[in-house]
Structure 1
Amino acid sequence: MQFTASTVSLTVDDVAASQKFFTTHLGYSVQQTTDEFASLSRPDAVDVVLLARGIQVLPPEQRDRHADGLILAYTLDRGLEEQERRLRDAGIEITMPLLQEPWGERLFQVTDPNGVIIQFIEWATPEHD
């Protein structure tokens, strides 16, 4: 078996709001879109599909679920502080300020208009006792 792509599908209340957030602030491009669906991609990250909550293509038991409890994480090779500043300057609320974990993970989080948590990560040398 060989995978040809990876996609995360998020059920949201307002597809257009998340689509605008992902294209404006995260550099995604729109592959396909309707009022209830958007397929987004960028060459260096997982593809994102946005589905309107209640959409009939989902099985009945999944239609009213919301992308909750999920963190969509992006690992950067450098420039974490620059990205935090860029998003803050664009008016995006930083919902978890930049911090460094003892195991070497540096990160911050923002939340899109539908409550999807987006985390940016950069790895540093771990702290030792």
Structure 2
Amino acid sequence: MVADGGARAPLVGANYSFRNQLARIEADGARVVTAPETEPWGERYCQFADPNGIVWQLVQWMN
């Protein structure tokens, strides 16, 4: 990820617990920007900002 408006690249984690990762991210000081929600097509996601204000997204495909 680039904070200056440059190119963006996804960070991919293949095997994780969405709830556990979100709890860890919050404990590390990130602020939730968009609370977790599940889209009709099966994507669960949330957005959060790190202490520098950079917005990240945590995504999980639901089965």
Q: TM-score, normalised by structure 1?
A: 0.39
Which segments of 5 or more consecutive residues in structure 2 lack a partner in the other structure?
none
**Residue 105, structure 1, aligned to residue 43, structure 2:** yes
Q: What is the aligned residue count?
A: 61
Where structure 1 has 5 or more consecutive residues not aligned to the other structure, the ranges are 1-7, 13-65
Higher RCO (CA 8 Å, separation ≥ 6 residues): 2
Q: From the superposition, tell whether residues 87 and 105 of structure 1 become closer, same or farther in structure 2 (CA, over 3 Å).
A: same
Match of 2:56 in 1: 118
TM-score of the aligned structures, taking structure 2 as reference length: 0.70
Identity among equivalent positions (%) equals 23
Task: Give how far 1:117 is off.
Answer: 2.1
Alignment match of 1:93 (pick from 20, 27, 31): 31
* Aligned residue type for 2:17: G
Report the Cα distance in structure 2 between the residues aligned to 1:71 and 1:108, rounded to whole angstroms. Answer: 17
CA RMSD of aligned residues (A): 2.5
CA 1:96 to 1:71, structure 2 compared with 1: closer, same or farther past 3 Å? Answer: farther
**CA spacing shift, 1:73–1:87, aligned 2, 3 Å:** same
